[in-house]
Amino acid sequence: MSKSVVLIAEELSPATVDALGPDFEIRHCNGADRTELLTAIADVDAILIRSATKVDAEALAAAKKLKVVARAGVGLDNVDVAASTKAGVMVVNAPTSNIVTAAELACGLLIASARNIAPASTALKAGEWKRNKYTGVELSEKTLGVVGLGRIGVLVAQRMSAFGMKIVAYDPYIQAARAAQMGVKLLSLEELLEVSDFITVHLPKTPETIGLIGDEALHKVKPTVRIVNAARGGIVDEAALASALRDGRVAGAGLDVYAKEPCTDSPLFAFDNVVATPHLGASTDEAQEKAGIAVAKSVRLALAGELVPDA
Ligand code: NAD
Ligand code: MLT
């Protein structure tokens, strides 16, 4: 009997292939290259992806034998889950694999933004010793507004509490009592925007959340606010953020994600007070290994016709 075919469409940890074991034919493609993806997906049983591969209705239509889409990470916004279900294709992800790693990056962006670490480093390496120019602000006693108090939002809240920050959050799907147990005060979005010295976004990208932090929201914030988006590009509207930075209505930003990726050219990159990373939220050895192993296990179970437990 021929082996089931597993297509790895993005660079994943080598632990992924080890965890799949010898029972599958493993193929590779560049899932970000649409033509390559549509050809490669045609006769495979499972596809393993990160965030750069779009498994939409067109890709599903091209996939004649596909049984499983495995997302080695959290966000499922690059997978048409409804169309997959309709086509009888199971979608699995690794919802806890990279949450610590993503939270740590968000905290890093908050700290980097507060203390101008990136521009000060760039300037020093260019021979400029400018201590006054890069004077920052303390985190201690400041209010951090967490937008989306889910797995990553909670981890960020816990970590930033240790810096002496007061934590408030906006998340209509969380009980106030549960938030209070964590020492977090739940507010409306409007209240959060008004009181926060720092804002960090940890929402999934959905029709409701796209542009949630847009022009209207950015007219309600303190001019000293620093905003971090390590969730998904477009939740913080890029044009509105650029305009708020230009007008001095926002003091700084830390960005890991962009409305269109890869993003190598953005008006936001011209601001000294924007620290930007190329979607590195999940990029640690540990998180990639966990994500790869988790989805490999799910693919094994799914292709064996066994129940895939919730992670
Ligand atoms: P989660 O599902 O645990 O938490 C999301 C939270 O958002 C939930 O508590 C939910 O109630 C809340 N929420 C949903 N819709 C909302 C809305 N309209 N308004 C307010 N709150 C809303 O997810 P998570 O593990 O914390 O991850 C959050 C997102 O971070 C993921 O969806 C993913 O897109 C992104 N992420 C990015 C990276 C990266 O590499 N930068 C890594 C991991 C995850
Ligand atoms: C995620 O949602 O898990 C992140 O975007 C990381 C990734 O690219 O896999």
pLDDT in tens, 27-43: 999 999 999 999 999 99
ipTM value of the model?
A: 0.99
- The closest alpha carbon to 250, from 272, 219, 276, belongs to 219
For ligand 1, say whether the CB of 148 is within 6 Å of any of its atoms. yes
Judged by DSSP in three states, 55 sits in strand
**CA-CA distances (angstroms) from residue 257 to 81, 136, 143, 266?**
21, 24, 23, 12
Q: For the residues 125-145, what does the mean pLDDT come to?
A: 98
Q: For the residues 180-189, what does the mean pLDDT come to?
A: 97
What's 2's DSSP letter?
A: P
Assessment of whether the complete model's pTM goes beyond 0.95:
yes
Residue nearest atom 6 of ligand 2, based on CA coordinates: 282
Pair of tokens at residue 34:
């649409």
Among all bound ligands, the one having the nearest atom to the CA of 184 is 1
**Terminal CA-CA length for the chain:** 31
- Residue entry with tokens 């889910």: 150
Distance 256 CA to ligand 1 centre (A): 14
pLDDT for res 311:
67
Judged by DSSP in three states, 97 sits in coil
Among all bound ligands, the one having the nearest atom to the CA of 105 is 1
For ligand 1, say whether the CB of 99 is within 6 Å of any of its atoms. yes
Q: Pick the catalytic residue: 71, 226, 232, 300?
A: 232
Distance 94 CA to ligand 2 centre (A): 10
C-alpha torsion 47→49→54→57, nearest 10: 30
The values of phi and psi at residue 7, to 5°, are: -100, 120
Residue nearest atom 8 of ligand 1, based on CA coordinates: 150
For ligand 1, say whether the CB of 187 is within 6 Å of any of its atoms. no
Cβ–Cβ under 8 Å, residues 257 and 230: yes
How far apart CA 35 and CA 205 sit, in angstroms, is 25
Q: For the residues 76-89, what does the mean pLDDT come to?
A: 98
C-alpha 274 chain-centroid distance: 18
115 is catalytic: no
Peptide bond into 262 cis (omega under 30): yes
Distance 61 CA to ligand 2 centre (A): 24
Return the percentage of the chain with pLDDT > 70, whole number. 100
Burial 147-162 (b: 16+ CB within 10 A, else e): bbbbbbbbbbbebbee
The values of phi and psi at residue 56, to 5°, are: -105, -170
Cβ–Cβ under 8 Å, residues 111 and 139: yes
Q: Which residues, in sequence order, are CB contacts of 2 under 8 Å at separation 6+?
A: 25
Distance 257 CA to ligand 2 centre (A): 10
Amino acid at 89: V
202 is catalytic: no
How far apart CA 237 and CA 216 sit, in angstroms, is 10
- The closest alpha carbon to 52, from 27, 28, 25, 79, belongs to 79
What's 3's DSSP letter?
A: P
Question: At what angle are helices 99-115 and 151-161 packed, to 10 degrees?
Answer: 50
Q: In the predicted model, is pLDDT for residue 214 greater than 70?
A: yes
28 is catalytic: no
pLDDT for res 310:
80
Judged by DSSP in three states, 311 sits in coil
For ligand 1, say whether the CB of 104 is within 6 Å of any of its atoms. no
Q: In the predicted model, is pLDDT for residue 309 greater than 90?
A: no
pLDDT for res 246:
98
Pair of tokens at residue 171:
């998340």
